[in-house]
Amino acid sequence: MATLLSVLVPVYNEEKTLPLVLKKINQVNLPWTTEVIIVDDGSTDGSAHLLERLSASSYNFRLKKAFHPQNKGKGAAVVTALSLAEGEVVIIQDADLEYSPQDWESLLRPVLENKADVVYGSRFLTGSKPKPWLNRWANQFLTKLTNLLTGLNLTDMETCYKVFRRKLVEGIELKSSRFGIEPELTIKLARAGARFHEVPISYQGRKFQEGKKINWKDGLAAIYHIFRFRFFD
């Protein structure tokens, strides 16, 4: 069983949701020590000031903070958080309330039982149809393309919830600064020979008016990144 879990939390303009996410994380009852690494990615709202004021004494987990002076993208925030991580197992947690920390236990179990090296939380294994529909369609297309080129059998490559053994990414250079981190991580972990597994998760999708940040340009970029990291990088 892992003795330390590293939770990577990239933040960009999540002043309203970050306190609620941390409250939910604090309510998760896990039998091992947890460190939460929050990286503010050049937020223009009050997220950075909120993060500066956060005290580790308010939570039952270890708290680490990092700040990007300018917005670089989710991938860059994940890379910064990874550089600070010390846990045997890593999980990525978005700060926008779309994903529930209550799913952590089922996500972590296959890794901790040595049945998998990587676990993805799938929004599609529950039989539900996440919204908006355009994002759902794009995600399914990108997932199938990734499967075709890697031999994986995923249903949700673009999921936030990615759990993996930290040693798998040691020595791997992650280059995507934005949402290309999703296919890059997937492809490079597959190339490293990792055993993949998926579990169903709950999901409360946001609309663009509510602050959702990924858009059609990121979808087109993801196609480029899939081919780039599979064949050229």
Q: What's the pLDDT band for 134 if we cut at 50, 70, 90?
A: low
- At 113, the pLDDT band (50, 70, 90 cuts) reads very high
Output the pLDDT for position 209: 43
CA 92 and chain centroid, separation: 3
Residue-wise pLDDT tens digits, 3-32: 799 999 999 999 999 999 999 999 999 888
∠ Cα 9 88 150 (to 5°): 80
User: What pLDDT score does 195 carry?
Assistant: 98
Pairing relationship of beta strands 33-41 and 89-92 according to DSSP bridges? unpaired
Distance, in Å, from the CA atom of 21 to the CA atom of 89, rounded to the nearest integer, reads: 20
Burial, 9: exposed, middle or buried (Cβ in 10 Å; 0-12, 13-18, 19+)?
Answer: buried
User: Mean per-residue pLDDT for 39-49?
Assistant: 97
pLDDT of residue 130: 60
3-state helix, strand, coil in the chain (%, to 5): 40, 20, 40
Domain edges within the chain: 4-131+159-176+189-204
Tokens matching residue 61:
């987990």
Kindly tell me if the per-residue pLDDT of 92 is higher than 80: yes
For β-strands 118-122 and 89-92, DSSP reports them as unpaired
Q: Tell me the C-alpha to C-alpha distance, in Å, between residue 22 and each of 19, 57, 98, 149.
A: 5, 13, 13, 37
Query: Residue 163 is which amino acid?
Result: V
pLDDT value at residue 32? 86
CATH number of this structure's domain 4-131+159-176+189-204: 3.90.550.10
- Type of residue found at 161: Y
